[in-house]
Amino acid sequence: MEQKIRLAIDMDEVLADTIDKFIEVYRQDHQTEILLEEMSGKEFHELLPDTLNDSWRTYVNAPGFFRDLKVMPGAQDVVKELCTKYDVYVVSAAMEFKNSLVDKLDWLGDHFPYIGWKNIIFCGNKIVDVGIMIDDRIRNFAGFQGRPILFSSPHNHFVTEYERANNWAEIADKLL
Amino acid sequence: MEQKIRLAIDMDEVLADTIDKFIEVYRQDHQTEILLEEMSGKEFHELLPDTLNDSWRTYVNAPGFFRDLKVMPGAQDVVKELCTKYDVYVVSAAMEFKNSLVDKLDWLGDHFPYIGWKNIIFCGNKIVDVGIMIDDRIRNFAGFQGRPILFSSPHNHFVTEYERANNWAEIADKLL
């Protein structure tokens, strides 16, 4: 039997819509409206008023923040199909935020139940031995010897050095 | 500057004395004495009486089980020195037991505070891109292209296929 190629898929901004949650909490808690259109080339927190500058850290450190994120459109169907062709791993740099670990694992269980615990990796640096990596952060491609695919997110809008997928339909076109 | 070789170090039975905890809880909770001498070539749970056969799963799934494990003798000093020569990662197959994640992270923070979150990996399959891997489970060496070092634990007593280290002093001799 031929060995399947290993495929690493990031969580935040790739499987899970973290920015949507940020927009929502700042709208609700601080009556601050951040528009997706303003975000090109910027991190979300760069758009916050000075008084709220570091408040995003409180949110991502709070239990529950990552538990109810929306799934990125199309991700569930495409990842399910990818699992038939590739050895799919979900690889998230979750280790910075202790309280995200269990939330992220539970979230994956709800929305991607066909990905078992053996194929989930929570880490800091993504030193994974895989053939293809789908990620929105180019820092995770540093030193990576395989095929990196940059998943579009507002903050990486102006990055031109990598093969890019704008959405899960484009991932399907490339990899299925 | 020369790039340091990446070194992956396992937690249970390598950094942390999980078997000691098992022996202790069965002594306390079930008045069952399991001796280290009986364990050669066997998993701990194989030595339990039939009536307690699956009870170990309840323990490892309980919050707190991994929080107060003893540190393996010599591990703290040797790992600290290894960090000066290698790019050290702690890699634990923690994902099977959801409640172990935060306990393991807190335990590392207490006993190995010099290992930052970027160098901690909780996973299932250990598909890490490292040069050296220290582990007590040979299944984690499957497909690994680097230098595997089998850390002695009763269950791997009769394994002869790998370079072996019996304790942290021997790791120091080999790698420092």
pLDDT tens per residue, range A13-67: 999 999 999 999 999 999 999 988 899 999 998 999 888 878 899 999 999 999 9
CA B122 – CA A98 distance, rounded (Å) = 12
Cα distance between residue A109 and residue A117, in whole Å: 9
> Which residues of chain B make contact with A106, given a CB cutoff of 8 A?
98
Are residue B32 and residue B94 in the same domain, yes or no? no
Cα separation, B141 vs B146, whole angstroms: 9
- Report the C-alpha gap between B50 and A160 in whole angstroms: 62
Query: Does one domain contain both B114 and B88?
Result: yes
Residue B109 in any domain: the answer is yes
Where is A151: in which H helix or E strand?
A: strand A147-151
Residue B159 sits in the same domain as residue B145: yes
Mean pLDDT of B1-23: 94
CA angle B53, B71, B7 (to 5 degrees): 100
Checking if the pLDDT of B2 tops 80, the result is no
A87's tokens: 């050895």
Count of domains forming chain A: 2
CA distance B147 to B163: 9
Are B79 and B37 in a shared domain? Answer: no
ipTM: 0.95
Instruction: Find the angle CA(A82)-CA(A87)-CA(A89) to the nearest 5 degrees.
Output: 90
Q: Å from A93 to nearest chain B CA?
A: 8
Say yes or no: B118 and B170 in one domain: yes
Answer yes or no: is A57 within a domain: yes
**What count of CB pairs under 8 Å joins A to B?**
75
A57/A138 same-domain check: no
Q: What is the largest CA-CA distance in chain A?
A: 58
Q: How far apart are CA B59 and CA B22, in angstroms?
A: 9
Of all residues in chain A, the percent with pLDDT exceeding 70 is: 99
Domain membership of residue A142 (yes or no) is yes
If one compares A34 and A131, the residue with the highest pLDDT of the two is A131
A128 touches chain B (CB under 8 A): yes
Over the stretch B97-124, which tens digit does the pLDDT of each residue have?
999 999 999 999 999 999 999 999 999 9
Task: Assign residue B99 the CATH number of its domain.
Answer: 3.40.50.1000
Work out the average pLDDT over A87-111.
Answer: 97
**Do residue B49 and residue B79 come from a single domain?**
no
Question: Does A86 fall in a domain?
Answer: yes
Please tell me whether residues A52 and A77 are part of one structural domain: no
* Domain identity same for B102 and B53: no
Is residue A97 a part of any domain in this protein?
Answer: yes
Residue A98, CA distances (Å) to A23, A65, A66, A94, B128 in order: 22, 12, 11, 7, 21
User: Is residue A1 assigned to a domain?
Assistant: no
How far apart are the CA of B35 and the nearest CA of chain A, in angstroms? 31
Q: Is residue B1 part of a domain?
A: no
Are B84 and B168 found together in one domain?
yes
**B89 and B124 part of one domain:** yes
Residues A34 and A114 in one domain: no
Residue of A57, A105, A121 to mutate when probing chain B, most B C-beta within 10 A: A121
- Which pLDDT value is given to residue A1? 56
- Would residue B168 count as lying in a domain? yes
Residue B91's domain spans which residues?
Answer: 6-17+69-175
